[in-house]
A and B are shown apart, each in its own frame.
Chain A
Amino acid sequence: GDSVTQKEGLVTLTEGLPVMLNCTYQTIYSNAFLFWYVHYLNESPRLLLKSSTDNKRTEHQGFHATLHKSSSSFHLQKSSAQLSDSALYYCALSDLYNQGKLIFGQGTKLSIKP
C-alpha cells in the first residue's frame, strides 16, 4: 500500500539557516497529490502547501516544495529559518488507491534556536 516516509524525527537549526525537511513516498498511482501540513503547538494542524504536478515548484508563506515523481520526493524548503517556524511538519499523500484519504508521514519536529 501507499506510504510516506519522513526520516528525520527532529531537526534543530539556528535562526537564519536554510531549512530542508525530507519526504519520500510510495504509491502505484501516477496522479497522487502530496501535501505538507504544519502543526504549531496548541493549534490545529493546517495545510501549508500541496502539489500534484511533476517538477513544478509550489510556494506558500516562505516555504517551497517541488514534487519529483522520478524520485518520489516532496521535500520542504525555506531559505532562512525563523524562530516562528518551530513546529511539527507532516508530509502526506492522497490518491485513488486510498480513496483520497490522506496518508501521513511520521512527522518532523522543527526546532529553531536563536
Chain B
Amino acid sequence: EAAVTQSPRNKVTVTGGNVTLSCRQTNSHNYMYWYRQDTGHGLRLIHYSYGAGNLQIGDVPDGYKATRTTQEDFFLLLELASPSQTSLYFCASSHSPWTGHSDYTFGSGTRLLVI
C-alpha cells in the first residue's frame, strides 16, 4: 500500500543538538515536502523537492537543511536545534503539481521537543 512513513515518531533533544528527521514514500511521487505545524500558524512549508538530488526552499527555511537522496527518501536536518523548533513535523508527497491535482499524502508526523 502506498504510504509516507516518518521516523522517529517522537524525539527529544537539547538546545544545540543535531537532529535528523526521516521520510520515505512508496507512492512513486516525484514531489516531497516538509512542513511544520504550530497552533495559530497552521502548516508551514520548510523545504521541498522535485526529485532525487533536488532541493527547494520553502517559506520558513531558517535553521533547517534538507536532503533528497532518492525518489523515496527525504530528510530534514536540524544541525543546531533551538527551542523555537519544537513542533510537529509532517512530510508529504505528491505527483507533479503541473497536473493540477496536487493531492498530498501525508506521513503520521514527528513530534520534536527541544529542551
The answer to whether A44 touches B106, judged by C-beta atoms less than 8 angstroms apart, is yes
Contact with B along A28-59 (1 / 0, CB 8 A): 00010101010000011111001010000000
Q: How far is the CA of A100 from the CA of B96 in the complex (A)?
A: 8
The answer to whether A100 touches B40, judged by C-beta atoms less than 8 angstroms apart, is no
Minimum CB–CB distance for B93 against chain A, Å: 12
Chain A interface, number of residues (Cβ within 8 angstroms): 24
A16 beta carbon closer than 8 Å to chain B:
no
Q: How far is the CA of A47 from the CA of B98 in the complex (A)?
A: 18
Contact of A44 among B45, B48, B102, B107 (CB under 8 A): B107
The answer to whether B40 touches A90, judged by C-beta atoms less than 8 angstroms apart, is no
Minimum CB–CB distance for A49 against chain B, Å: 11
Residues of A within 8 A of B35 (CB): 104
Q: Which of chain B's residues 72-115 have a Cβ closer than 8 Å to chain A?
A: 90, 96-98, 100-104, 106-109
A86 beta carbon closer than 8 Å to chain B:
no
Closest to A94 in B: B102
The answer to whether B102 touches A106, judged by C-beta atoms less than 8 angstroms apart, is no
B12 beta carbon closer than 8 Å to chain A:
no
Residues of B within 8 A of A52 (CB): 100
A102 and B104 contact, Cβ closer than 8 Å, known pairs A44-B90, A44-B109, A45-B90:
yes
A44 and B100 contact, Cβ closer than 8 Å, known pairs A9-B40, A101-B45, A104-B42:
no
Q: How far is the CA of A37 from the CA of B103 in the complex (A)?
A: 10
Q: How far is the CA of A9 from the CA of B101 in the complex (A)?
A: 27
Residues of A within 8 A of B103 (CB): 35, 47, 50
A45 and B42 contact, Cβ closer than 8 Å, known pairs A100-B97, A101-B48:
no
Residues of A within 8 A of B90 (CB): 44-45
Q: How far is the CA of A50 from the CA of B102 in the complex (A)?
A: 10
A99 beta carbon closer than 8 Å to chain B:
yes
Query: Which 3 interchain pairs have the tightest Cβ spacing?
Result: A100-B97, A106-B42, A44-B106
B residues in contact (CB < 8 Å) with A = 4, 33, 35, 40-45, 48, 90, 96-98, 100-104, 106-109
